[in-house]
Chains A and B, each alone.
Chain A
Amino acid sequence: MDEVIRLEHIRRDFVVGEETVHALRGVSFAIRRGEFVTVMGTSGSGKSTLLNILGCLDTPTAGEYWLDGVAVRTMGKDARATLRNRKIGFVFQNYNLLPKTTAIENVELPLMYNPSCGVAERRERAVAALRAVGLGDRLLHKSNQMSGGQMQRVAIARALVNNPAVILADEATGNLDTRTSFEVLDLFQRLHAGGRTIIFVTHNPEIAQYSSRNITLRDGRVIADTSNPAPLDAAATLAQIPSASPEDAPPT
């Protein structure tokens, strides 16, 4: 079995004062290498809670989670940090780049926390990751000199640079205008075509059409898990959008 992720009866309870909030009430699924999964659901359905657990930022109250064959639930804080560093790439809605820092330095960041990666290798891999997202000519641009689309590409390059088992994206197009959203979506599709495993959390049903599989949550449960044999092509959609706005327009 080529499973990257396996969840079994994952529960996550938050105790708020006297009450207990059941954010996840027994979620089970497996994701194979090379899948592009969108996780859908309305606000409060448990998407972020699930993503935090998948990203090893949070541990489930009950249930088992294997990431790339490693059982995560019983791991300590430091071990989870190292696991994140080696196996996971995060892409956030608001990019979370370091301010006043060049693209290349932002992308190098995860490798800084990997002592087995030397300076030369770090640079080499960061340059390769930036080329892969189409920013090979913007290596020394600082984060505050870039448009939203460019910043998100840098963030994606940062998520790629450690060659992770899975890329986790949380509303990664949420801050971008339509055209730039599709550019980023196109980038994700190309990464997927290159063999990457991607989990993309969104509340936008349109985006789900571009992934190979769609998991829907409601009230902390999986209510639908459908595969999409013929996903739409983001590049084609992009070609139909009139380029009224300049390519690198800031987020609206």
Chain B
Amino acid sequence: MHIGNLLKIAFKALGNNKLRAFLTMLGIIIGVASVITMLAIGQGSKRSIQAEISEMGSNMIMVHPGGDMRGGVRLEADDMESLTLADLEAIRTETRYVSYVSPSVNSAGQAVYGARNTPTTVYGVSADYLDIRRYRVADGDFFTEQDIRAAAKVCVVGRTVVDELFPDGGSPVGRIVRFGTIPLRIVGVLESKGYNSMGMDQDDLILAPYTTVQKRVLAITHLQEITCSALSEGYTDRAIGEITALLRRNHKLREGQDDDFTIHSQQELSNMLTSTSDMMSVLLAAVAGISLLVGGIGIMNIMYVSVTERTREIGLRMSIGARGRDILAQFLIESVLISVAGGLLGVLAGVGASLAVRALASYPIYIQPWSVLLSFAVCTFTGVFFGWYPAQKAARLDPIEAIRYE
């Protein structure tokens, strides 16, 4: 039979039972809508995490002294002092995939201004640190190369420190804070970055020349960390490879000997966080998928009812020349029509619900085009799959018995 005629028959059959058709559709509508909404919420939170991480510098690479401590035994003092300025220089000059590199030494302590004080951390770094961590100076300037060479007692402070020490709101540039016993003149204030996705206040810090922190605060000559950035996030692995090779050569490590340093990257963290949110997405989608399954079972159920109710009609159609496949197609198209119509309404409801979540709960949502396509495809498949058995049952009826069915 012609597809146009089949569609006409299906529309008519559904039209004869509008409420029932709608209630059957409702299962699919809810299923599709919830798949789309759940994926939109999952993807939205994943994207906002990714955006925050790239704010922190998604291409950041951190080199620490000391090997991977999984063995738990090698914690000699030597080991923890393995990173030197020579390593830093080598990384700066001999790598291709590293764009910025800064030493990092830090010390936690109290920052004091007049009668006020606040616990914070001072980081000894170089100018590259701003580019690596994506900080900007909002007020004043960053300290200079000259300041680094001279181990000058200068610093740049984060917003939180400013707010704690200078609650009156005036510019702190030019004032002198004490960190422990060391007086540091403020030359600049960092633009606020707020909290990161792990809840850390990124504005609670003081930046000072690394030489100053090494000599005047910690009295050390080694580095606690070398912070670098790869050319871009995609080059992270290659940059790590380069740095590893370089440091092993500089540290004269023989083949088979363990690294005396450890490299972490922001990418690892990013992967960890997004894989958590991916798992959330999968779980949410699975729950939503189950409701789609339930919707499909609803279709199957109602199609069985429909086949039984219309046994006489099936018998008649067969006796006037319908073949098994004509009957199969008729009922299959009916169930696909239910699921596709339900799918369309479900897409509308899902997109609507997602937008409502964004508007009302100001939750980050992102509707992925593929999730719409996928759920639509799945529900068409649902229609075929769950419509198949009832349609098959109809097609296999014996016309003689069917036409006498009461």
Interface residues of A, Cβ cutoff 8 Å to B: 52, 55, 57-58, 77-78, 81-82, 84-86, 90, 92, 96, 98-101, 109-110, 112-115, 158, 162
Contact = CB atoms under 8 A, between A and B. Distances in A.
B403 A92 contact: yes
A241 B325 CA distance: 48
B400 A84 contact: no
B8 to A, nearest CB: 9
Nearest to A52: B400
Interface string B317-352: 111111111100000000000000000000000000
B358 interface: no
Contact of A114 (B313, B317, B321): B321
A96 B312 contact: yes
Given A96-B312, A113-B1, A57 B323 contact: no
Contact of A115 (B2, B317, B318, B319): B2
Task: Name, among A57, A113, A114, the residue most crowded by chain B CB atoms within 10 Å (CB to CB).
Answer: A113
Complex A-B, nearest 7 residue pairs according to Cβ-Cβ distance, in ascending order: A85-B321, A113-B321, A81-B323, A110-B320, A96-B316, A78-B323, A84-B321
B326 A84 contact: no
Contacts of B322: 81, 113
B93 interface: no
B1 A55 contact: no
Given A84-B320, A96-B316, 11 more contacts: A57-B318, A57-B319, A58-B400, A77-B324, A81-B318, A81-B324, A96-B312, A99-B313, A100-B16, A114-B321, A162-B321
Nearest to B406: A94
Nearest to B316: A96
Contacts of A110: 320-321
Contacts of A77: 323-324
B16 A90 contact: no
14 contacts: A57-B400, A58-B400, A81-B321, A81-B322, A81-B323, A84-B319, A85-B320, A96-B312, A96-B316, A98-B313, A101-B12, A113-B1, A114-B321, A115-B2
Contacts of B362: none
B146 interface: no
Nearest to A105: B12
B66 interface: no
Interface in B76-110: none
Given A112-B5, A115-B2, A86 B319 contact: no
B383 interface: no
Contact of A86 (B321, B324, B325): B321
A96 B315 CA distance: 9
Contacts of A96: 312, 315-316, 403
B188 interface: no
Contacts of B5: 112
Contacts of B313: 98-99
A153 B14 CA distance: 28
A176 B403 CA distance: 19
Interface in B269-325: 312-313, 315-325
Nearest to A110: B320
B399 interface: yes
Nearest to B318: A81
Contacts of A162: 321
